């Protein structure tokens, strides 16, 4: 039986192996019977790597090195390679990622909307410009209100000017949604903004995790040395479970 495929992208300066541990998604994939793959970028950054988000500088304002790989092409090609090797349901190909990986996932939604049925950026939702989607792309996103790396209200790195709330609104505009969102509190310390009535049954959802830093909501406990840099963790919601339910409700076609 064909299975859904989720690409899970690491953050800037990180690795595929670190993202596997940080997100804890293997457990979810095993329980829900989907395939999760952890690609790795090629631009060196300390002990890890950065993604090449088109037209956007790297963390710290560094320029993307000349002749860097086209990661949109790499990741869409990877989907095809995985489909050849495994039994992938091509109507259920999704992408998630953290931080720089989330920004790359946002780019995938614009440039490869015919491949990725829905996206789930964590701590890094953007709406790239230009954004030549061929269909309305369902988006579920998670972001901590106390994120010190990519601040919820924007005004951060050169790639991080506008707020996360604005990014969700821009995606709602992109998907031709009603511009009057619904705001709810599905759990303590969680604010959910939902844009509905979009084209082709798409939805845009933003989970703001109050007091959380630059982490994966509900992910494995991190060492205190990492929390000191990235801010507090929260397990008030499970990003993995919420995004999987969202993915299941939004197949391609």
pTM of the model: 0.98
CA distance 240 to 253: 23
Q: What is the pLDDT of residue 43?
A: 98
Average pLDDT in the chain: 97
Statement: residue 169 has pLDDT above 90: yes
What are the tens digits of pLDDT across the range 93-115? 999 999 999 999 999 999 999 99
Statement: residue 240 has pLDDT above 90: yes
Q: Which helix (H) or strand (E) holds 247?
A: helix 239-249
Query: How confident is the model over 67-86, as a mean pLDDT?
Result: 97
User: What range defines the domain where residue 204 resides?
Assistant: 3-249
Q: Are 218 and 207 in contact (CB under 8 A)?
A: no
Statement: residue 179 has pLDDT above 90: yes
What are the tens digits of pLDDT across the range 134-154? 999 999 999 999 999 999 999
CATH number, residue 190? 3.40.50.1820
Query: How confident is the model over 179-188, as a mean pLDDT?
Result: 97
Q: How many CB atoms lie within 10 A of CB 239?
A: 26
Q: What is the pLDDT of residue 253?
A: 82
Q: Helix (H, G, I), strand (E, B), or coil: what is residue 61?
A: helix
Domain count within the chain: 1
What are the tens digits of pLDDT across the range 189-202? 999 999 999 999 99
Q: What is the pLDDT of residue 194?
A: 98
């Amino acid at each position: 039986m064909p299975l859904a495929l989720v690409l899970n992208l690491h953050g800037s300066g990180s690795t595929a192996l670190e993202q596997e541990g940080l997100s804890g998604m293997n457990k979810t994939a095993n329980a829900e019977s989907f395939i999760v793959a952890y690609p790795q970028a090629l631009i060196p950054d300390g002990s890890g790597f950065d993604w090449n988000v088109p037209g956007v500088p790297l963390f710290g304002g560094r320029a993307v090195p000349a002749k860097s790989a086209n990661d949109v092409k790499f990741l869409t090609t990877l989907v095809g390679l995985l489909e050849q090797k495994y039994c992938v349901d091509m109507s259920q190909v999704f992408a998630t990622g953290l931080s720089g990986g989330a920004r790359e996932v946002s780019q995938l939604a614009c440039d490869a909307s015919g491949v990725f049925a829905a996206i789930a950026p964590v701590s890094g939702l953007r709406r790239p410009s230009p954004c030549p989607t061929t269909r309305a792309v369902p988006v579920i996103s998670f972001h901590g209100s106390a994120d010190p790396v990519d601040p919820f209200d924007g005004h951060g790195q050169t790639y991080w000017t506008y707020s996360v709330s604005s990014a969700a609104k821009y995606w709602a505009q992109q998907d031709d949604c009603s511009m009057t969102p619904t705001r709810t509190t599905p759990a303590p310390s969680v604010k959910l903004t939902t844009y509905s009535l979009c084209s082709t049954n798409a939805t845009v959802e933003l989970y703001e995790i109050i007091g959380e830093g630059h982490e994966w909501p509900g992910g494995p406990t991190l060492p205190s040395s990492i929390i000191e840099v990235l801010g507090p963790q929260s397990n008030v919601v499970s990003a993995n479970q919420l995004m999987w339910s969202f993915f299941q409700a939004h197949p391609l076609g």
